[in-house]
Amino acid sequence: MCARSSTFILLVTFVLSALAEKITFKNVKIWYNTEDQQYVTGKINSAYQLKTQSNASRIVRIEIFGGSVPVIHPGDFKGFPALTDLWLSGNELKEIHPGAFSNALDGIRLSRNKITTIQDGVFSNSTIRFLDLDHNLIDSISPHAFDNMTDLRNLNLNHNKIKIVYREWLQDKSKLQMDLGYNQIEHLPSGFFSLTTTTTSSSTITKLRLWHEIFLALMIWISRVCSWAVTKSKNGRTIL
pLDDT given at position 6? 56
For residue 192, give every residue at least 6 positions away whose Cβ sits within 8 Å of its Cβ, in sequence order, or none.
Answer: 165, 167
- Over residues 164-215, the pLDDT tens digits come to 999 889 888 878 888 888 888 888 887 666 554 322 233 444 455 555 555 5
**Is the confidence at residue 78, as pLDDT, over 80?**
yes
The sign of the torsion formed by the CA atoms of 202, 183, 179, 144 equals positive
Q: Which of 4-18, 138-152, 221-235 has the lowest mean pLDDT?
A: 4-18
Q: Read off the amino acid at residue 23.
A: I
Which domains, from first to last, does the chain contain?
26-234 (3.80.10.10)
**pTM, full prediction:** 0.75
pLDDT given at position 14? 43
- Report which of 219, 107, 116, 212 is spatially closest to residue 160, judged by C-alpha positions: 116
**Is the confidence at residue 237, as pLDDT, over 60?**
no
